[in-house]
Amino acid sequence: MDSLPNYSVYELNQAIGTLLERGFAPRFLLNASISKSQLKKGHLWLTLSDGKASISAVVWGSQLQKTDFRPKEGDGVVIIGKLNFWEIRASLVVQVLDIRPSISTVLRQFEVVRALLLKEGLLDQRRRKLLPAYPAAIAILTSSPSSALADMLRTAKERWPLTKLILVPIPVQGMVAKQIQAVLKTLACSKDELGIEAIVLARGGGNREDLMVFDDEELCRELANFPVPVVTGLGHEDDMTVADLVADHRSSTPTAAIVDLLPNLDSAQEHCVQRRQRLNDYFDWYMKRERQLLLGRRNLLKAQSPLVLIQRRRASLHTKHQLLKALSPGKWLSRGFSIVRNPLGKPLRSVDEIELQEKLTIQLSDGQLDSTVDRIHSQPNLE
């Protein structure tokens, strides 16, 4: 018995505390789920579990004020902590230095809110509003200052400097859904005064857990019912939030949101050059067509003028005169033909119309002869 260490209760607890301080990591990561959560005197007391064992933890009030995430019972969490051993009562707790939702908690909230809004029809593709082709003004909702904002402003200036950019700083991490909702409601009321035609909700890259605020049910309702088109650029391309699902257009990154919303200056200039060329070509074609129409009408009017009609009529009369002249009896008589008439003056065409001793008159080109028929000679038809 004399060889065994001898401790008082306090000394034993003190030795255990010293042993823990020397042999255990000063800080560590702990993955757990919340089986109990209770706020006492400004401090948050938690019971952490992994299904096999449990341990108590505490978030002191000073640290709780700096913490964005307030876990609920059943939430999975990732904790940065250290051990606290209280020698007075040999009590061991995990002191929480930082606490964040685990990916399982984030995905569970995403699925719950998505299913609810899907049932209500807020994710229907037919509800999506068309993005303006050439927006006069847009509002950018993101943290300021930030590298994401700097990239967005630079891209907007390069792509389409004619659009007015209205910067609306918002918190983008932690339990800030109510603050973002308040900003959206104010912006919706003043959209006409500001001339806003679309808004961009953006946040730079980070862990999926950092985007949990954009899975908030009420915030997503506000976005779904916003009066102008909403474009989201949240996190990375692989990140998907409920806000992306209710938005009118989802972009892979904040910079991509500006690219998707604003037209390209170079492309627009090229388009204008092409349209100007098409207008010039159309104008040339139109003028040629109108010139041809005018020439045709002038020729038609010229052809219908009284002088032309008189000349045409005169030519027609001259042709007829020449024809009549060519076919006149005098023309035929001058060529050696003659006209034989009976006593009644009727021209004879056949010997059958003549009788013997009948007196006939023979007309020549320069006079006529009176004769009597002594004999009649018939001959075959010469036709």
Domain at 78, CATH number = 2.40.50.140
Residue 19: which domain range? 9-101
Kindly state whether residues 165 and 221 are assigned to the same domain: yes
The domain total for the chain is: 3
51 and 36 housed in the same domain: yes
Co-location of 41 and 162 in the same domain: no
Structure tokens at 200: 């961009």
Confidence label for 126 from pLDDT (cuts 50, 70 and 90) = very high
130 with 145, same domain? yes
- 14 and 69, same domain (yes or no): yes
192 within a domain of the structure (yes/no): yes
CB atoms within 10 A of CB 187: 19
Tell me: pLDDT of 1 over 80: no
Domain boundary among 80, 101, 122: 101
Using an 8 Å Cβ cutoff, are 357 and 375 in contact?
Answer: no
Does the residue 14 lie in any domain?
yes
Q: Is residue 240 part of a domain?
A: yes
How far is the C-alpha of 64 from the C-alpha of 239, rounded, in Å? 28
Q: In which band, very low, low, confident or very high, does the pLDDT at 119 lie, cut at 50, 70 and 90?
A: very high
- Considering the domain architecture, whether residues 120 and 226 belong to the same structural domain is answered as yes
Does 241 map to a domain?
yes
Please report which confidence band the pLDDT of residue 373 belongs to, taking 50, 70 and 90 as the band edges: confident
Instruction: Decide if 183 contacts 214 (C-beta within 8 A).
Output: no
Arithmetic mean of pLDDT over the chain: 89
Statement to judge: residues 188 and 74 lie in one domain? no
Query: Does 112 share its domain with 246?
Result: yes
Angle, CA 148 vertex, CA 146 and CA 151 arms, to 5°: 115
Model pLDDT, residue 16: 86
Q: Which residues contact 121 (CB under 8 A, 6 or more apart)?
A: 127
Query: What CATH number does the domain containing 185 carry?
Result: 3.40.50.261
383 has pLDDT over 60: no
Average pLDDT over residues 82-87: 88
For residue 382, pLDDT over 60 is answered with no
Q: Output the six-digit token pair for 262.
A: 């604003």
Query: What pLDDT sits at residue 300?
Result: 84
Statement to judge: residues 95 and 112 lie in one domain: no
**pLDDT tens-digit readout, 178-196:** 999 999 999 999 999 999 9
Q: Classify residue 33: in a domain, yes or no.
A: yes
Tell me, yes or no, whether 139 and 229 share the same domain: yes
47, 143: one domain? no
Does pTM surpass 0.75?
no
Confidence class of residue 116 from pLDDT cuts 50, 70 and 90? very high
pLDDT for residue 315 is more than 70: yes
- Do the Cβ atoms of 273 and 168 come closer than 8 Å? no
Q: Is residue 347 part of a domain?
A: yes
Q: What is the DSSP string of 294-354?
A: HHHHHHHHHHTSHHHHHHHHHHHHHHHHHHHHHHSHHHHHHTT--EEE-TT-PBP--GGG-
Domain stop point among 101, 129, 153: 101
- 305 belongs to a structural domain: no
pLDDT (tens digit, 9 = 90+) per residue, 194-250? 999 999 999 988 888 889 999 999 999 999 999 999 999 998 888 899 999 999 999
Q: Is the pLDDT score of 345 beyond 70?
A: yes
pLDDT for the residue 309: 81
196 and 58 in a single domain? The answer is no
Cα–Cα dist 150/170, whole Å: 15
* 329 lies in some domain: no
Q: What is the pLDDT of residues 151-160, one digit of tens each?
A: 999 999 999 9
Token reading at 333: 């008589």
pLDDT tens profile 4-21: 888 888 888 888 888 887
In a 3-state reduction of DSSP, which class is residue 283?
helix
More confident residue, 322 or 190: 190
Question: Which of 62, 79, 101 is the endpoint of a domain?
Answer: 101
